């Protein structure tokens, strides 16, 4: 299929996807989210779990955190598949059309941040490989090449990337290279003793769970941008959960093992050489090439989120602007604050999507309707959820800040809604009082 035809079929911004273009099935979503769950930054995130935790503790945190995060990812994807709308438009149902501008802006900022991180790690890794082979180094050029590839993928559109690239080729290469990397790490001397070595206690278990949850949570603001193309709601949910869960568990585990077996420093300067020594330059180069799919999703969804604020803005122009901007910042940024960046994302979006899930599945029982104006009550609950997350993570590190924040706003939203309906049936979907008091346009 020609590039122009694919682009024409997928460039409808924030409008509901036409029925004839809802064609993605279980395996499409398994491939998409399995592919997006595989990345160099996921491996890097896994390395933060040790030596604070033992590998056994880290693996338990990985399983638990991945399970929780992927359930949330699948549930938000379910709403997108059911309504055929992108994620930021879904938030109009709880925040109002104007209220959804704030999370859209935050999402744009975090997606550009992710893109910058991806460009940094891709450019640095490729430059290391080229220098190893040729003796020459040009970080600016290597980063520019990957930025251009990502831009082309964004212009290609979701259907082209998923069905023509990921499904037919990329996913199989990903499985092969990830398996090779796993074998190389497990084949290192004294690996069994390292697996049973106690942690130093510098990271509480639930803080580790939060670090793992942060990765699937980072995709919550994007998931419906792609799941709206689903042929079947159930297939999209199952495919999303299965694909991302397997990838997240696998890559986080590799990251933890990599640190234990190589004693890397947790920055690009130490991380990339460790991968080179473990996998070899060819395997690392392929992993770097596969990283483009993650940056593609970030750029594409950043444009869709921008269209929730400015519906008439040209999507392709946004692809170009965001790619160029991310490249410029990427060649001068330091990645050492990556862990804090993950925790910040978790605090902002976990509570907001807790409200969305409570509203859609408990209050509305699957009914969906966008609202105008701003729902200030929901914004207050959202801010409260962020505050609870920050307080929990700093004052009570033994608890999971993500779970505490999510549960708090989920329950609070339901209680406030029920309190405003005295004398009515509990959670009756047809009743809507204070939550319908949106400000006028």
- pLDDT, one tens digit per residue, over 302-340 is 999 999 999 999 999 999 999 999 999 999 876 656 657
Task: Find the mean pLDDT for residues 228-236.
Answer: 97
pLDDT score, position 289: 84
pLDDT mean over 223-240: 97
Phi then psi for 318, rounded to 5 degrees? Answer: -65, -40
8 has pLDDT over 70: no
Which residue, 222, 232, 230, is CA-closest to 86? 222
Distances (CA, A) of 205 to 215, 264, 399: 17, 21, 8
Residue 204 pLDDT > 80: yes
- Spatial distance between the Cα atoms of 341 and 114, rounded to a whole number of angstroms: 9
Residue 346: band (very low, low, confident or very high) from pLDDT cuts 50, 70, 90: low
Query: What does the pLDDT read at residue 277?
Result: 72
Which residue would you say has higher pLDDT here, 275 or 109? Answer: 109
Residue 441 confidence (pLDDT): 39
Provide the H-helix boundaries in 280-375.
281-290, 292-309, 315-330, 338-357
Q: Taking 90 as the threshold, does the pLDDT of residue 86 lie above it?
A: yes
Residue 424: predicted pLDDT: 38
DSSP H or E stretch at residue 398: none
Question: What is the reported pLDDT for 436?
Answer: 43
Tell me: pLDDT of 3 over 60: no
Phi and psi torsions of 113, nearest 5°: -60, -45
**Where do the domains of the chain lie, and which CATH numbers do they carry?**
15-338 (1.10.4160.10)
Angstrom distances, CA of residue 13 to CA of 318, 320, 336, 427? 12, 16, 35, 33
**The predicted structure's pLDDT at residue 39:** 86
DSSP state of 19: G
For residue 430, name the pLDDT band (cuts at 50, 70, 90): very low
Which of the residue ranges 95-104, 165-174, 187-196, 218-227 would you say has the lowest mean pLDDT? 187-196
Lowest average pLDDT, out of 200-214, 362-376, 398-412, goes to 362-376
Task: Report yes or no: 42 and 190 within 8 Å, Cβ to Cβ.
Answer: no
Reduced to 3 states, what is the DSSP secondary structure of residue 24?
A: strand
Contact predicate 182/315, CB 8 Å: no
- With left for phi above 0 and alpha for psi between -120 and 50, is residue 135 left, alpha or beta? left
Q: H/E element holding 112?
A: helix 101-134
Phi, psi of 230 (to 5 degrees): -75, 140
Span 59-72, pLDDT tens digits: 999 999 999 999 99
| pLDDT of the residue at 286 | 79
- In this model, does residue 106 exceed pLDDT 50? yes
What is the DSSP code (8-state) at residue 267?
A: S
8 Å CB contact between 157 and 17:
no
CB 146 within 8 A of CB 292: yes
- pLDDT tens-digit profile of 109-156? 889 988 998 898 899 888 888 888 888 889 899 999 999 999 999 999
Contact 340, 119 (CB under 8 A): no
Q: What's residue 428's pLDDT?
A: 43
Calculate the average pLDDT of the chain: 87
Is-contact 24 230, C-beta < 8 A? yes
As a whole number, mean pLDDT of residues 45-53 equals: 93
- In DSSP terms, 230 is beta-bridged to 24
CA atoms of 278 and 290, how far apart (whole Å): 18
Partners of 24 in the β-ladder: 230
Q: Which of 204, 225, 281 is nearest to 14 (CA)?
A: 225
pLDDT band at residue 435, thresholds of 50, 70 and 90?
very low
DSSP H or E run through 159? helix 158-159
Residues 174 and 34: their CA atoms lie apart, in Å, by 9
Burial class (CB in 10 A: 0-12, 13-18, 19+), 369: exposed
CB-neighbour burial class of residue 20 (10 A; exposed 0-12, middle 13-18, buried 19+): exposed
Q: Residues 170-193: what's their mean pLDDT?
A: 89
135 preceded by a cis bond (ω within 30 of 0): no
Length of the chain: 441
Strand partners, 131: none
Per-residue pLDDT, 235:
97
For residue 426, pLDDT over 90 is answered with no
pTM here?
A: 0.89
Mean pLDDT of 85-113: 95
Residue 197 clears pLDDT 80, i.e. is over it: yes
Task: pLDDT band for 361, please (50, 70, 90 cuts).
Answer: very high
């Amino acid at each position: 299929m020609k590039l122009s035809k694919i682009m024409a079929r997928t460039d409808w911004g924030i409008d509901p996807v036409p029925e004839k273009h809802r064609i993605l099935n279980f395996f499409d979503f398994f491939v998409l989210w399995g592919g997006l769950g595989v990345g160099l930054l996921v491996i890097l995130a896994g390395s933060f779990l040790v030596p604070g935790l033992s590998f056994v503790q880290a693996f338990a945190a990985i399983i638990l955190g991945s399970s929780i995060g992927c359930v949330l990812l699948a549930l938000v994807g379910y709403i997108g598949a059911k309504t055929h709308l992108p994620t930021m438009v879904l938030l109009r149902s709880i925040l109002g059309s104007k209220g959804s501008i704030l999370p859209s802006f935050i999402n744009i900022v975090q997606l550009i941040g992710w893109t910058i991180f991806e460009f940094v790690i891709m450019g640095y890794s490729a430059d290391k490989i080229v220098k190893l082979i040729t003796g020459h180094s040009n970080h600016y050029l290597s980063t520019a090449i990957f930025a251009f590839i990502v831009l082309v993928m964004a212009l290609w559109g979701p259907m082209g990337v998923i069905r023509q690239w990921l499904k037919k080729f990329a996913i199989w290469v990903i499985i092969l290279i990830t398996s090779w990397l796993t074998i190389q790490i497990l084949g290192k001397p004294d690996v069994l003793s390292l697996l049973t070595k106690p942690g130093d206690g510098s990271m509480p278990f639930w803080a580790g769970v939060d670090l793992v949850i942060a990765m699937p949570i980072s995709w919550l603001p994007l998931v419906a941008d792609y799941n709206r193309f689903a042929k079947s709601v159930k297939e999209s949910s199952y495919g999303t959960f299965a694909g991302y869960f397997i990838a997240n568990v696998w890559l986080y585990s590799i990251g933890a093992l990599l640190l234990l077996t190589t004693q890397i420093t947790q920055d690009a300067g130490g991380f990339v050489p460790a991968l080179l020594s473990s996998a070899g330059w060819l395997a690392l180069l392929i992993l770097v090439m596969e990283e483009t799919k993650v940056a593609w999703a970030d750029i594409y969804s950043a444009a869709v989120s921008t269209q929730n604020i400015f519906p008439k803005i040209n999507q392709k122009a946004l692809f170009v602007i965001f790619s160029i901007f991310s490249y410029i910042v990427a060649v001068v940024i330091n990645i050492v604050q990556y862990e804090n960046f993950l925790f910040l994302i978790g605090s902002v979006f976990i509570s907001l999507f807790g409200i969305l899930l409570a509203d859609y599945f408990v209050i509305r029982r699957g009914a969906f309707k966008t609202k105008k104006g701003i729902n200030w009550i929901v914004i207050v609950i959202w801010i409260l959820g962020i505050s609870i997350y920050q307080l929990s993570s700093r004052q009570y590190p033994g608890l999971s800040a993500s779970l505490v924040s999510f549960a708090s706003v989920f329950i609070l939203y339901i209680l406030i809604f029920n309190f405003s309906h005295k004398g009515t049936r509990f959670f009756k979907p047809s009743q809507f009082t204070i939550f319908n008091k949106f400000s006028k346009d």
